[in-house]
Structure 1
Amino acid sequence: MDEEEAYFEDAFEDTATGTPLSAIAEAFEELSALVSSSGSFDDLRLKPFCDACSLVSILFGCLGIAFKFAEMEYVSKVRDLTEASKRYATLNSILDFDVKNDSVRTPGSLSRNLRRVRQGLDLIRVIFQNFPSSDECSLKEAASTAYAKVCAPYHTWPVRTAVSAGMCALPTREQLLLRLNETDKSAGKEMRRYINASLPVIEYIDKLYISRNISLDW
């Protein structure tokens, strides 16, 4: 078992008291409440953020080879941020460090890692938006549309080509629901919870960059 698989298994074990989707939705509802409260908007702690993000790795694993690149990148970035939480208390603090050292966009910097994790959260959010609780939209359609909107503009042509080819290997809607231990109805409910809860967190992260005059087009 490699490091990515081990990390995936650790995250999956954290959902033992419920389905993966319900655990993810609950974790992001807690984060959303934090960033929306007046006393803590500017001070989201890094460790609980990483704990919630680690659960999302389960979803990338369930999507199969088409999103293997995303799973590997996402897991490695979350792991780096988790390790950094031993030194930095908040998301603000890691950006402050990189701004001071002019390393925000440097490959491997924590600010760059945070940007990529944020992209992963948004990718799942848009997939869920395109995956209603009905048979009107296939997983391939939902994932292709989400990838084109969220990730493709920032990926090289070889990566985009590989993802496009891998879309044919996505599980069916029924296979995905089975892997997540959900029905159409229950999955729709949990997906809506994540959509609503993750957006304030994503917007919060964007504001951290914007407040430091860092553009979001990377």
Structure 2
Amino acid sequence: MTDAGQRRNFYGRIKGKTLRASQKGYLAEDLGPLTLRGVTREENPSRSALDMGFAKGPLWLEVGFGGGEHLVHMAARHPEVTLIGAEPFVNGVAMLLGKIRGAGVTNLWLHPGDVRDLFDVLPDACLSKVFLNYPDPWPKARHHRRRFVTPEYLLPLARVTAPGAEFRVATDIPDYVRQTLEEVPEAGFSLVAQTGAGEAWEDWIPTRYEQKALREGRQPHYLTFRRRAPEF
């Protein structure tokens, strides 16, 4: 667990465009019941392990779910699985909540904040699948340390993923692919597959970010990794 006194820098926006009245309603009515308790430092200053009673069946995580279309799609397609979505961006959370209402899925939980706080309190080897779809590319070289595919994120991720767990990364940024291929294996994952446009995973649903990338002439890359058994 992380030192309870540690404070992290969080980079990026928390809120964007003005929320619609319906989205404000979703946040007021639906966010509380779907939010995992005991994740934030305010609720859990000792960083004790999370009570996992909410998890029914395999546990999957999507890091930075954007507008939530992929997360809801996975929840509907795999009702036997429990999913967690971590996203600090309020507008994305509001969009997801609207989609959850529309789809009626009940196997999905949220952490509306920094995923590193979630990593602090998840038990070892509890995740069997993790998704990282079109993460913030932080294109300037001096900002590459802010990307998810760095040890600050990947080593905690490795701790909470089970041996054999699948880690999927989708991006349209070639340099993000480069860094992913360099950093993720070092954290304890093996590359299983690397494909391009038209060769996504069988249960993939194109996100709005992917559609925007294709409209602007950028090609998607899909990388699949498998968590190696820890070496002792």
Name the one with the larger helix percent: 1
User: TM-score with structure 2 length normalisation?
Assistant: 0.28
Name the one with the larger strand percent: 2
User: TM-score with structure 1 length normalisation?
Assistant: 0.30
